[in-house]
Amino acid sequence: MENKKEMRTWLDDFKLDHPLVIAGPCSAETEEQVLQIANELKNSDVSVFRAGIWKPRTRPGGFEGVGAIGLKWLQKAKAETGLLMATEVANANHVQLAIEHDIDVLWIGARTAVNPFAIQEIADALEGTDKIVLLKNPVNPDLSLWIGGLERLCNANIKKLGVIHRGFSTYEKTKYRNNPEWQIAIDMQNRFPDLPLICDPSHITGKRDMIQEVSQQALDLNFDGLIIETHNDPDNAWSDAAQQVTPDTLKRMFVDLRVRKETDEETEYNNKLLQLRAQIDTYDDKIIEVIGNRMRIADEIGQLKKSKNVAILQNKRWNEILGKMILTGEEKGLSEEFILKLYKAIHQESINHQERIVNK
């Protein structure tokens, strides 16, 4: 991808002394609702008002958005408040209607992001636009797919690009609606450091009482902004009621959230940081050495199983290891979620080693 510096200029143009905030209801429900929320947000840190006009639902029968009439409500909200307007687009027709109604920010949702054909259709419809275009991560944890969608938009000569991290679907139940998988967002950030990265704590958490915690995590990781679903009557919202906060709650969050400095030039700080990082490097080397030694033992087990024609996977043994390591991890201050991920990866690598030996 080229012209990464140009991608960031649209964010710099806001001239903010705080991260960008995009806020508004999950869905535009009525003109009155849209105008009330927009007016309650106008004298805050919110720069962009968001509202879903077309709502892709998991199953048919749910509220699927008010459609194009909602774009006129956004136009009126913009005239009354001066806020920029944002909505989701999922096909070329949505793009055309949004542009006709002078919507400032268009985002592409996670369900659309998994489909290269849909992204290409949207990219073609947006080619050369001066609108801000934000791409959410695909529902599945696939960095290449996320980057591929970004490249299609970039190839359409769209200069004002950014990405939204909204978490990833997982079969396993966790405390999140969509598991954050922070490392994938960090990898995107490292790959494209001048690409604005925005966090969507509403979709990550699915619960309004967790939004501030996840917002702070994102700011601690140097995210450029937040997109937070905000409703004047969240409990009675027509979609995603559990993850929306009131405008007053959002404003209180702004008071408590802390923006971290990217670095500090003080000599003492940098010397101490170098010392601590050197210690981490030493432990990282030891971790790799220990795992390598473990895999050599797995190879020996593979040889033994091959000699006796014994199945590689032994579920009883695996469950014993997992249970023991979860308890040991808790004693060391490590979360069960982390231990599960770590040992599943180690276990899979052990199986791979044994399969190579057994199938020689």
End-to-end Cα, the chain, rounded Å: 42
Domains and CATH numbers, the chain: 4-256 (3.20.20.70), 267-358 (1.20.59.10)
Q: Is 118 helix (H, G, I), strand (E, B) or coil?
A: helix
- Residue 231 CA to residue 48 CA, distance in Å, equals 15
- Per-residue tens of pLDDT for the chain, all 360 residues: 444 456 667 999 999 989 999 999 999 999 999 999 999 999 999 999 999 999 776 667 678 889 999 999 999 999 999 999 999 999 999 999 999 999 999 999 999 999 999 999 999 999 989 999 999 999 999 999 999 999 999 999 999 999 999 999 987 778 899 999 999 999 999 999 999 999 999 999 999 999 999 999 999 998 999 999 999 999 999 999 999 999 999 999 999 998 877 677 788 888 888 888 889 999 999 999 999 999 999 999 999 999 989 888 888 999 999 999 999 999 999 999 899 999 999 999 999 999 999 888
How is 13-52 classified by DSSP, letter by letter? Answer: TT--SS-EEEEE-SB---HHHHHHHHHHHTTSS--EEE-B
Joined together, the tokens standing for residue 57 give 């639902």
Cα–Cα dist 280/326, whole Å = 23
The two structure tokens encoding residue 313: 């996977």
Q: For residues 18 and 20, give the distance between their C-alpha atoms in angstroms, rounded to a whole number.
A: 7
CA atoms within 13 Å, Cβ hemisphere of 288:
5
